[in-house]
Chains A and B, each alone.
Chain A
């Protein structure tokens, strides 16, 4: 893949990019990103979501319940999305950059109900959000919250990555054009 700073120009298709370590650290450690999809009227709508960065595949994996499917509907109509990593709460990182990933998403209409489909994601989710274990913890919660586990998986391949050192949005960001990252 190709990834390079703005001063180096655009990447060359077919080369593999290596992300700056502080950017990849943000992907691993931030608890949420602001995930934006484009609504039918063209409005970009963001919602905080947990992400899983899979560098070996050069993509992010996110999920949404079929009880909150609008993100998936938007992606099926317009694949252009973005993930902004701008809230370092609980990440343990000191003065991390803010990172914007723009990319193309897929949201197949396959409903997954078992964490065994992607255990890495669910293990991480329950580790960083231990109170979430209450969903389905007793018969009443299983009746009320079964929809929480009826999931659509979203895959995002980055096309461009911008980052603001120290999260300072008053400065112009550094840019990485991406064919494939990892």
Chain B
């Protein structure tokens, strides 16, 4: 897992730490994560983070281009520890990797998942009103 984390983190300049505050609400900050493999944690750079509570956390790296495409997502679950300059994320499990293969896997999994959602509720697969979908897309772009 560590090699996968190092490889994926290298592809992103920044990431988002998702922890919780004292009231239990999610509390997210963008940071510059770098793996400290000697200690087995991901250092998170200078983050004020006084409200971040130690405990379960996740680290999300993602990017898109100017047209919200070329999507890349990398998500790891773990725990957050320390504070301020010493804030660190201890990874435990990769949820999804970045890149085309991971994206295709996710899309195919979503189709199965949708079928499961409907089956559990005893619902028929709904028909999509494609004419209404096409109408909201607007005219094709030139060029």
Contact = CB atoms under 8 A, between A and B. Distances in A.
A102 interface: yes
A51 interface: no
A122 B56 CA distance: 34
Interface string B11-39: 00000101111011111111100000000
Nearest to A116: B132
A41 B65 CA distance: 33
Interface string B88-126: 000000010000000000010111111101100101011
Interface of A: 31-32, 34, 36-39, 41-48, 50, 65-69, 80-82, 84, 86-87, 89-90, 98, 100, 102, 109, 111, 113-116, 119, 122-123, 126-133, 136, 142, 144-150, 159-160, 167, 169-173
A111 B136 contact: no
A109 B137 CA distance: 26
A122 B133 CA distance: 9
B66 interface: yes
**Tier of interface size on chain B:** 35 or more
A148 B26 CA distance: 27
A86 B135 CA distance: 32
16 contacts: A44-B27, A45-B95, A65-B110, A67-B113, A68-B113, A87-B30, A87-B62, A89-B65, A90-B65, A131-B68, A145-B107, A147-B114, A149-B128, A149-B133, A169-B30, A169-B46
Given A34-B18, A149-B128, A102 B25 contact: yes
Given A45-B95, A46-B28, A123-B136, A68 B110 contact: yes
Interface in B41-85: 46-50, 55-58, 60, 62-69, 71, 73, 75, 77
A123 to B, nearest CB: 6
Given A44-B27, A129-B69, 16 more contacts: A34-B28, A46-B60, A66-B118, A67-B109, A67-B111, A80-B25, A82-B27, A84-B29, A84-B30, A113-B128, A115-B133, A126-B137, A127-B138, A147-B113, A149-B133, A172-B50
